[in-house]
Structure formats: C-alpha cells, structure tokens
A and B are shown apart, each in its own frame.
Chain A
C-alpha cells in the first residue's frame, strides 16, 4: 500500500504538477481541491493502467470514486487482488 501511495504521489508531483518537491499527503484532497484538474485526470488513469495494470474507467474519474491517494490506492489494490 505504501509503495502505491509513494508511487502515485511521486507521479502527480513530478509529471502533473511539475513540481517534484511538492509533498502530497495520503489524505490530501485531490479533485475537490482542484489540485488535479479534469485535463489531468486522464493522465492519472493512463498511468495507473500502465504502472499497475488496473483500469480506472473514465466514468470513475470524479470525487465520488476517489478524492485522495488513500482511496485511490485502495481501489488499485483491491482490483489487483481481484485479478
């Protein structure tokens, strides 16, 4: 779980925010805070698919599905186990 959290935090800081020194806490709001805008949600989905082999559907790219790294990691983990 920790690995996934760090990996995602790193990806968001470096590639999406283009600010590698930006720390993202596991419970920090991502979508409702505007940290991740809609233009970049699809980047995140594509990255997760490639990195973890887990598909996040486009209809799931909203804060009802996940709004922080903890929730997102949990989805990734449960879908990986489900395979």
Chain B
C-alpha cells in the first residue's frame, strides 16, 4: 500500500496540470491549484522543516488561517516525514490568554517539535511554547520564498503503518485526545467510503468545512485530493457570513457532492436572501450528506422545500455517521436510495430503551437512518456489561474496522479505555434495524454545537472562575434547539447573591467569560439558589439529572426559548 506523499507525487508526475483544488476566498478571484503546484509548494515546507532539523515522526503543529499556505504546510510536513496537526486559528472573540493556554496544554500532551505560523503571530506562539518541547517556530512567509526540496524526502521512506496526521477536537479535554491515524488507515477508509458513495472522477466536491475537523479534513479535503476528484474549497469564515457562497459554487462548478452538519441545513434555508438565489441551479447535486451531529428530518424538509425550486433533487438528501477514530465514515445512507425513516414509539425509546416500530403519530419519533456500515466496518450494539444486544434494542455503539486510529497520541491510558475486546466504544447510543445504524443519544457527556464537540467540563471550569458563582456548583449541558437544528449550551450555576440586578450581571459575566474562553457562544446562563443542583450519590454534579430538572422548571416558562426566526 502506498503512503500519502507517494500518491501526491505520482499524480504530480503523471498529470502535473490536473486541477486539484479551486481555492475560493472572498474578495479575490478563484485560484486554481494543480497537483504540480500542490507538490512543489509542499516541498518548500519540507525543505524548511529539514533545514531546521525536524525529524521524521516528530509532530508539527500548524497554526494558520484557512488558506493555501495551510494546505501546503500540511502536505509539506508529510513530505518531510513529520506528523502534521492543524490547530484552529485564533478567532475574533477568543481571548489571546485563553488561546495561549490551550496551545500550552496541547504542547504538553503532544510534545511537538515545531509550529508553523505567520510572522505576526510568532511572539504569541513563543510565549505559549516557553519551556515546551517546541524547538522551532517556522514562519509561513519565509517558507513561501524558499526553494522546493528536491531530493532525500524523508516522507517517501515512511511505512504505511506509520502515523500520517493527528486530529483534535476542541477545548482542554479535546486537546488531550489527539487521534493518530496511519497512512494505511486513511487509504482503507477512502477505499471503503468511495464505494459507499459511488464516487467517480466525474464528481465535483464542494466544501466550506474547517480542516481541523474530521469531516472537513477527510471528506472535504484528503479524499478528493488523493482520489483525483476536483475540489472547490472555501473558507468556513466566509461561508458563515454568506451561506449563498456554497450555492454559487455548486452552480458554477456543477458540484455533485457536499457534506454538511445538520445545523447548516437550517442555516442555509433560513438565511439566504431570495434575491441572492436568482439564476442558481442546484440540479447537479447528487448528494448533500448530513453528518457530524444529530440528523433531523425537519432540517432535511426545510432545506428541500427552500432549494427544490432551484433544482435540488429530493434524492440528493443523504446521511452519514462518522468519527475521527475511524478516520471518517462508519455508515452511509441516501446513495441511490432514499434515506430510511424509522418511526418508533416514544415511550419505548425513552423508558424501555427499545426502538419499537410505530405508526406515524404524535406519540411516535421519526428516526433518520445513518445507513449501513461501509464495507470495511462492522457495528455492534452493546449493553453496559459489554454484551451484544439484539436488533432494535438501544445500547452503546461499538465498531471494528481496518481503518481505526493507531492511538490517542501519547495517551496509552485513553487508548486502552476506548477499546473492549477489540471493539472501539464510541460513547454514542443507538440501535440497529435491518442492518442500518440509528443514533439516539450519547453515553458520554458531550455537547455537539454546529458539528463541533464541546466537553461540558471545559465550560464548567470557565464558569467556576466567575465571581459570584458558588465554586464547584455549576453544570453545563446541551439542549436541542429546533429552529437552529443543533444543540445549544445551557449553564446553570448556584449563587448566594439574591439581588436580581446583581444576578443579571453575574449571568452576563458567565456568558462573556465562556465566549472569550471557548469555541462556543453561550446565551443561556441561569442562576439558581444554593442547593438547586442535584448531586449523584458520590457527590458529583449529575449533568443529565440537572438537565431534566432545568427542562422541567425553565424550558416551559421561557417565552423566548422558541426560535423566532422561523
């Protein structure tokens, strides 16, 4: 089996002028990146890494905006034999102190040898890297002016089982878990997944997803590049300010495939001006694949209703269940068949933990299938003792494949905990019916906001520091917001302060601190009296029990809880 650098080099040799990426950036004309460009520019990074004595198998952290430089740095690290890992760039709202702190905690676990960043960001990284394993901070602007490395590429000497990249989710907790993937795992995933989606060279993929996330990095970046499918790549920063850019790209390049988190269906349906859609044709779309957060039929319907007049086919609606630990996809539905909808009994789901088929009614819940496992992946549902459960019984989803992660990088403890008898425990709850996977919830305390994984303990840690909050008496959890099509974070904190005005100030301060110190925006901070929060028998704050209590006490009375944008 070939490694990633071999594949890129071979295409660059055989078809140098073949287009790899159309890079779109607001305010500049589309830039075409051929395989030759990609290869040559990657070799500039490889040279700089070698000149700075960065050795094979060492980790290189990339801190760059969504840009061509980011793409070249990523592949360049691979050609040098190093292991690239992309970190999200500082956003407008994030406090630099917090950003530095998360870099530091990343450096501690991952022990990188180098960081690639912009000249203007160098001193920031320097501060974060003080006393860490980082030996070199390499400047992107200087790399661009260097000569491509032409011989002795360490990246071509790598074994297919060696680690090719690391992927992280955000927050202090997420940064501790660098998912390490081998060349072989990536290629085996792509081989199985391309069959599942019937990928052909005549497809055109369009993506606005960030490259530090598995869906963006694998489906919306590595897959098209390695399999020679043209990619139209835009910045998430541009898309979120102008979602019509996605539709324009589909129209202009006759795109056939794209991947979206569920919230994006609502976002596109609600926030694109009718006048901006004039003349746009979406009929080339073969599959719009819903992935990376709970998939809602209502979101599919809203999207279809809004874009059918512009040629979007109903058959284009598709779903996928994926995770970084399996490189990307676990299962896929909606290709050459409609996505299966499974109406099940509400009480059965909530109380008996069984997905009993039901007639379509108000007592029934519409479950959207994530489809059958892709050919190299097997799925089982396990009970709490790790025993296999029969069809339609809800339990933890476990999987086995030939493309699993090598390890959580430098965390053997976490790696060991993640597996049971050779099965990877996903922490997701669900069931199997007719061989298709359905996701019903999560065992682990994790909130997914717009496709991003947020660990509640990270949010709670921030809130604990806010003055007026009773220390240790804080809980964070997710509540699904139907209007937005995603989860919204809610914080409930105890306080001894009684004055309503003062409480309001504390609540504002909680939101402010969370916004500045995390990837989310907090809108719901609720202050309660001492003793409100429920504890487990072991004295820990019980997240799910407090979530239930919150929904019972606050959700019904909050007049603006329902989204007013619909």
Contacts and interface: CB of A to CB of B under 8 A. Distances in A.
B237 interface: yes
A34 B515 contact: yes
A42 B244 CA distance: 11
A27 to B, nearest CB: 15
Contacts of A62: 92
Interface stretch (A1-9, A16-24, A75-83): A16-24
B565 A15 contact: yes
Contact of B512 (A33, A39, A42): A33
Contacts of A14: 560, 564
Contacts of A49: 273
A41 B241 contact: yes
B241 A33 contact: no
B344 to A, nearest CB: 31
B328 to A, nearest CB: 24
A43 B272 CA distance: 10
A73 B506 CA distance: 28
B26 interface: yes
Contact of B242 (A19, A33, A58): A58
- The interface centre, meaning the residue of B241, B504, B524 with most chain A CB atoms within 10 A of its CB, is B241
B397 to A, nearest CB: 29
A34 B241 contact: no
Given A17-B523, A18-B523, A34-B93, A42 B560 contact: no
B512 A15 contact: no
B300 interface: no
Given A19-B560, A59-B26, A38 B273 contact: no
B521 A34 contact: yes
- The interface centre, meaning the residue of B94, B516, B523 with most chain A CB atoms within 10 A of its CB, is B523
Interface in A34-51: 34-35, 37-39, 41-43, 46, 49
B407 to A, nearest CB: 34
B240 A39 contact: yes
Contacts of A46: 271, 273
Contact of B241 (A17, A35, A61, A63): A61
Chain A's interface size range is: 20 to 34
Contacts of A38: 237, 240-241
A43 B515 contact: no
B508 interface: yes
B450 A35 contact: no
B521 A37 contact: yes
B521 A43 contact: no
A56 to B, nearest CB: 10
Contacts of A19: 523, 560
Interface residues of B, number: 31
Interface in B259-301: 267, 271, 273
B564 A15 contact: yes
A58 B515 contact: no
A35 B515 CA distance: 7
Say whether chain B's binding surface is mostly helix, strand, loop, or mixed.
loop
Contacts of B484: 39
A44 to B, nearest CB: 11
B155 interface: no
Given A20-B560, A33-B516, A42 B523 contact: no
A83 B424 CA distance: 62
Contacts of A72: none
B541 to A, nearest CB: 24
A15 B523 CA distance: 11
Contact of B515 (A20, A21, A33): A33
- The interface centre, meaning the residue of A21, A37, A46 with most chain B CB atoms within 10 A of its CB, is A37
B508 A22 contact: yes
Contacts of B201: none
Nearest to B520: A37
A45 B504 CA distance: 28
A62 B93 CA distance: 10
B243 interface: yes
A15 B271 CA distance: 14
A63 B563 CA distance: 26
A39 B563 CA distance: 14
A32 interface: yes
Interface string B498-521: 000000100010011001100001
Contact of A37 (B93, B508, B524): B93
Contacts of A15: 564-565
Given A39-B267, A41-B240, 11 more contacts: A15-B564, A18-B561, A18-B563, A18-B564, A19-B560, A22-B508, A34-B512, A37-B521, A38-B240, A39-B521, A58-B238
26 contacts: A14-B560, A18-B558, A18-B561, A18-B563, A18-B564, A20-B560, A21-B504, A33-B515, A33-B516, A34-B93, A34-B94, A35-B515, A35-B521, A37-B93, A38-B240, A39-B240, A39-B484, A39-B521, A41-B240, A42-B240, A42-B271, A46-B271, A58-B26, A58-B241, A58-B242, A59-B26
